[in-house]
């Protein structure tokens, strides 16, 4: 005879304890809205999963203004622009001068560390190493989900609202009724070969390079650790690439008449990052709502992933705050439409940046020349530069 689950009651049950789920949990707790967070991975796995992070100023403010530790200000690296490099020449864009905005480089796993510490400090109910197995009664006023913890104990969470914040392989997303959902997706024919290296910065700002050999991104992590990427085949084997081969590949993608040289060092992490765009519509069903990668993913070229997740969090938090303080579900009902407006703007910007900067697979000479013409148009026009700067640094939150 199957054991009956242990019942947990709360106002908001959050499936997924990455940055999006923890940010929502933190904001809800600050206004007295009880919540439980359940995460499949263990804390150390998330903490040690290296993912780049470029935070819009609004995302930084969400952390600092809500009382999360201000390490993002002391350890983050504020950037006032980027460098578009093509035909071997650099074209710097000054975001402060163009749109009076900046971004901050701060790795996503560091955002997780800060939010996790804030929830622990505030005695939040966050449970790691738990597997969600079932979501029930989404269409009712008391949706539920079941999970098994690391000790094998079965629990059932009874909530007023359930939030799926469980990433791009979201279990919550798959539970939405098939006839009532539609997925939009594009899989790109290339990937990024990413490295982490012990080396000084090669340039003061990030370099986005279009070259005949393929795209490269010369990014940063800290004063002594840098993150870099180059366009590759999605099936590329990282073990086939020695350090010397990687550095030669990266260097030829930024070579130019100015004799720009990368600063090199030992490489201690290699990975291949697949590219796809995905959007689920709607982002809600009944009393269950999706945020972040559970509802949409973007290629990293436009630096929108975590920023979109935090924008979702802000919209949903305000809707939940209204719901629990007034009893009105008007803002909850409007969550999906409002969030999707920003999602599709970000999808457009990310697709545009990706197609403009990457070398066409198959070597189509027309498309390669067209992309160079677009880069020339953008960099030679103040209005073009302002459009890119505004989109990169982020539109105002709804």
Q: Is 208 a catalytic residue?
A: yes
Q: What are phi and psi of 93, to 5 degrees?
A: -115, 125
* Backbone angles phi and psi of 356, in degrees to 5: -75, -30
Whether 392 sits among the annotated catalytic residues: the reply is yes
**Active-site choice (26, 300, 335, 358):** 300
Q: CA–CA distance from 274 to each of 18, 261, 305 (Å)?
A: 20, 27, 14
Element housing 195 (H / E): strand 182-198
3 is a catalytic site residue? no
- Cβ(95)–Cβ(80) below 8 Å: yes
Residue 387 designated active-site: no
Alpha-carbon dihedral sign for residues 12, 17, 18, 22? positive
| CA–CA separation, 241 and 248 (whole Å) | 11
- Structure-token pair, residue 91: 């074209």
Enter the DSSP assignment of 167.
-
**Which residue out of 26, 144, 296, 304 is catalytically annotated?**
304
Q: Which of 208, 229, 296, 299 is catalytic?
A: 208
* Element (DSSP H or E) covering residue 379: helix 365-380
Q: What are all long-range contacts of 120-123, with beta carbons under 8 Å and residues at least 24 apart?
A: 122/26, 122/29
The answer to whether residue 330 is catalytic is no
HEC assignment per residue over 353-372: HHHHHCCCCCCCHHHHHHHH
Of the residues 26, 50, 79, 285, only one is catalytic, namely 79
Residues in the chain: 398
Enzyme catalytic residues: 79, 208, 300, 304, 392
């Amino acid at each position: 005879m199957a054991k009956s689950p242990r019942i947990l009651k709360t106002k908001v049950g959050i499936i997924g304890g990455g940055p999006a789920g923890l940010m929502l949990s933190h904001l809800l707790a600050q206004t007295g809205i009880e919540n439980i967070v359940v995460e499949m991975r263990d804390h150390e796995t998330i903490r040690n999963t290296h993912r780049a992070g470029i935070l819009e100023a609004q995302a930084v403010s969400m952390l600092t203004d809500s009382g999360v530790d201000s390490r993002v200000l002391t350890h983050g690296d504020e950037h006032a622009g980027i460098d578009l490099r093509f035909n071997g020449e650099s074209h710097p864009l000054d975001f402060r001068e163009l749109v009076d905005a900046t971004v901050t480089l701060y790795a996503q796993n560091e955002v997780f560390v800060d939010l996790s510490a804030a929830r622990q400090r505030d005695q939040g109910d966050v449970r790691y190493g738990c597997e969600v197995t079932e979501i029930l009664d989404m269409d009712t006023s008391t949706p539920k989900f079941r999970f098994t913890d690391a000790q094998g104990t079965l629990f059932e969470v009874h909530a007023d609202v359930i939030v799926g914040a469980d990433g791009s392989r979201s279990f919550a997303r798959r539970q939405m009724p098939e006839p009532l959902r539609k997925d939009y997706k594009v899989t790109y024919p290339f990937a990024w070969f990413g490295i982490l290296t012990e080396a000084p910065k090669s340039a003061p700002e990030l370099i986005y390079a279009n070259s005949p050999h393929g795209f490269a991104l010369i990014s940063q992590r800290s004063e002594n650790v840098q993150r870099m990427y180059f366009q590759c085949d999605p099936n590329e084997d990282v073990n086939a690439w020695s350090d010397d081969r990687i550095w030669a590949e990266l260097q030829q993608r930024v070579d130019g008449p100015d004799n720009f040289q990368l600063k090199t060092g030992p490489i201690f992490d290699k990975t291949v990052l697949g590219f796809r765009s995905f959007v689920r519509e709607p982002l809600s069903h009944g009393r269950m709502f999706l945020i972040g990668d559970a509802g949409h993913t973007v290629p990293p070229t436009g630096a929108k992933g975590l920023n979109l997740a935090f924008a979702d969090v802000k919209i949903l938090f305000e809707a939940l705050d209204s719901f629990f303080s007034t009893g009105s579900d008007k803002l909850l009902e409007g969550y999906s439409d409002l969030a999707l407006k920003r999602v599709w703007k970000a999808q457009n910007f990310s697709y545009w940046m990706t197609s403009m900067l990457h070398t066409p697979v198959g070597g189509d000479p027309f498309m390669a020349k067209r992309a160079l013409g677009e880069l020339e148009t953008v960099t030679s026009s103040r209005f073009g530069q302002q459009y890119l700067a505004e989109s990169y640094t982020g539109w105002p939150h709804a």
